[in-house]
Structure 1
Amino acid sequence: MSIHIAAKKGEIAETVLLPGDPVRAKWIAETFLDHPVCYTKIRGMLGYTGSYKGKPVSVQGTGMGIPSALIYCHELIKDYGVKNLIRVGSAGSYQKDIKIRDIVIAMAASSTSNINNIRFLNSDYAPTADFDLFMKAVQYSRDNNIPVKAGNVLSSDQFYEDDPDSYKQWAEFGVLCVEMETAGLYTIAAKYNVKALSVLTISDSLVTKEKTSSEERESTFTKMVEIALGTL
């Protein structure tokens, strides 16, 4: 058993969907998986395993931010042998043409986090998606007529910025949206030679100031989950 998950060996599938919100983890398991079983409730960070079209799949909440997400990713990989980690989360749009509820697939993740500067002193490491998972997600989206955007996202350590216009420089350089975990996920997946992908739903826009409610973010972002499961 690991410290923060404490599931038994064999209770977690090799493919895990990773919402930040544990309530969303519960909703995904109960909505999309057959016969879901809860394998952890530690710290309220729910995890479930069920099946999707006959294939075992787990869903694990990770909390908000890279430090929290890395705890769960590390234990999933090292203690439970997980091979595919797919983040299904919300993000804030940085671009006019990326609207509320649009889907963004993260090809790469810039970051304001210092997590990789600790590893790569005086250098910049570029965390990127697994190509195989990325192509499967894109193909599934095309086959099922789900419009997606793909490109660079920002993994920020701050949810509330001092300067409300600070996003504009990132937007100028083509960054599509902001979230808080992908750079850490892609880095740890690369370190341990496993596959990772982030599929994001736009929950608010820094350009138009539109927002979705917490209830909507927890239980209505279905398309990104369908895409994530479609990679199977």
Structure 2
Amino acid sequence: MLDLLASPDAWAAFLALVTLEIVLGIDNLIFISIVAGKLPEGARDRARKIGIGLALVLRLLLLAAIAWIVGLTQPVFDLGIQGAPGAYGEPTFDTAFSWRDLILIAGGLFLTWKATSEIREKLNPHETATGKPRAGTAAFGTVLFQIIILDLVFSIDSILTAVGMTDELPIMVAAVVIAVGVMFAASGPVMRFVQANPSVVMLALAFLLMIGMVLIADGFGRHVPKGYIYSAMAFAALVEGLNLLARRRNRRLAAKHDAAPAG
């Protein structure tokens, strides 16, 4: 361990891994903020804290089973179907699937379904389908179960990323703990901000829908560089931030106009 602390390469790997883990944790944090917002106000913080705590526990357990995690990338079956050639002559999708691929596809389908159903509910707020709870009255156990499923998917992706960047387990553990700590510190303000701004909720749901489609594509062997995804998310967030500032300024001007004496 002392050798690692004295190594510039180890510090470079550590800082790079912390940054990457924090960026990857954004997806997890957005999902927790959205689903926890379905709970009554008194239970939201509890769900948020438990969800992020479970994210840390799952990541540490998966790091402890690092050999098993690496084995998840080995193909378990091959459909033997050749996809149509892409722009560079390679097949458009991979027909050999590993357990990681299957987990990513299942998680992507779940995330796509969840984001789509939430968007539908936002667009039809007065719809009351049989057995469908109203917003803010979801069962705590149901919300926690959804958080656990996505925690597992994001944790496996996170640990495989860590394995690809360094072979040193102490560096991976330290980076994961710090990244989840940043998630925990940011989760409260992020959740309150998302819930206080309905347009941000819709933007976050669109992010989740995009992330779900990316997970499915990744499971089929079509890797989309994360830089593209997060650049698009950052640009959309910047535009929405400008919209929020414009709406706030208009409200202030309207309030000032209403308060001004007539004549």
Per the shorter chain, which TM-score range? under 0.3
Say which one has the larger Rg: 2
Query: If each structure's helix is expressed as a fraction of its own residues, which one has the higher value?
Result: 2
TM-score, normalised with respect to structure 2: 0.21
Higher relative contact order (Cα pairs below 8 Å, separated by 6+ residues): 2
